[in-house]
Amino acid sequence: MGYFMRFRKLFFIIILVIISSHVGAQEEILPIHRRGFISAGVNAQIWRVQYRALINQISFPLTVYMLINDRFNISVSNTPAHSWRDETGRITDFSDTWVQGNYVFWDDKAMINLGIGMPTGKTRLDSVEFAITEMLSRNIFSFQLPVYGQGLCGVGSFGIAYPVKEGLVIGASAQYLYRRVYHPVQYSYGESVGLDKLYDKEYDPGDEVSGSLGFDIRLTENMKIMFDGIYTYYWSDYLDGDLVYRAGSKITMNLGYFYRYNSSYFWTHITFRYREKNSLYQGLIVDETRYNSRYQLDLDMIYKFLSFPNGEVFGLGIGRFYEPLESDKGLDIIGGIGMRVDYKIFSRGMLNFQLKFFSGGLKLPLNREIIGIEASIGTVIEY
């Protein structure tokens, strides 16, 4: 579900942009694009446990954003990636391709979003590849591409933002995600007893619906807070027509704080998630006590501390605190620090460099200390 969680998060960020635009938003945090652009980059994420490979990925995110007019835009995105665990386990392929359209109306107070996820990503994974995707989809690692392919999907969203008074805007949104059947795994078995059988079952993931309510409040000319709460409901999953899994409903709360002084600013964003217990867990799905968390807390901080001709330098801070379903084992904790440099190469072109270092520990299934590094370079060219 990680890929769709990221897509849903993107929609609510867009809603926050609409909200912020009425009260003097910090466009450096949530940029408002007034031209079409092409964004491309390379992102490397390496995780180690006791100096041995845990899970790694090199991805190549690509987005084309077309501004049709002042009210309507279309974006197309794909993230090819090479993921590997060791010499015997690796995946190299495209992701699903998302095509999205956004229409803004009612004096820029409302937006409709429609999108389709085209099944260009890899499915029918073998058993080794499937084990790799189990690790990639763990939210605590925050991989660029957590899921390669999940079949044909469609999404519809609606959001509004209403200025109640000077410095206060209230927003609400709703989203429905529709999923078609696909074949996630394919492998042979039974050779050891003289049989040659093929496992290739049809998986029908449940749809999901989300609703959010939030506000944007300007405390002073240099300080503001943004908050929203999101409730997500999931329908049941079926394997060859048999009920196999139903994810528990999820509550997500986002809190953002912005403070500017002189030419610098500080931004922090906290995300808290609570998921109800899953009602079914069998068949294709792995043991949930190993990979799922009931409570999740993500902390991201950005501090712009230096400006120079055509560029800016940022300090980064990251914290992730997840409670496994077997809560007596303790918390999964990852902390990180990093730096980002934005450099304007010409009037409509920007380069971005980023480097992060992580350290922490996972209780299940490893109960080991881990270290990680993430490095990326990207460019955004407007046209």
- Find the CATH number of the domain harbouring 200: 2.40.160.50
Question: Mean pLDDT throughout 118-136?
Answer: 91
What is the DSSP code string of 103-171? EEETTTTEEEEEEEEE--S--SB-HHHHHHHHHHT-GGG--S-S-S----EEEEEEEEEEEEETTEEEE
| SS3 state at 278 | coil
| SS3 state at 221 | coil
Q: Residue 248 is which amino acid?
A: G
Tokens of 147: 């899921």
Question: Mean pLDDT throughout 321-350?
Answer: 88
Element spanning 10, H or E: helix 2-20
**Contact by Cβ (8 Å): 276, 249:** yes
pLDDT of residue 29: 63
pLDDT in tens, 19-57: 444 444 445 666 667 789 999 999 999 999 877 888 999
Element spanning 298, H or E: strand 293-308
* Per-range mean pLDDT, top range of 35-39, 280-284, 327-331: 35-39
Tokens of 102: 């956004």
For the CA atoms of 101, 118, 46, 5, the dihedral, rounded to the nearest 10 degrees, stands at: 60
Q: Which residues contact 41 (CB under 8 A, 6 or more apart)?
A: 60, 61, 352, 376, 377, 378, 379
**Number of folded domains that form the chain:** 1
The model's pTM is: 0.89
Q: Domain limits at 216?
A: 2-382
Residue 69: band (very low, low, confident or very high) from pLDDT cuts 50, 70, 90: very high
Q: Residue 122 is which amino acid?
A: K
Matching residue, tokens 């030419």: 263
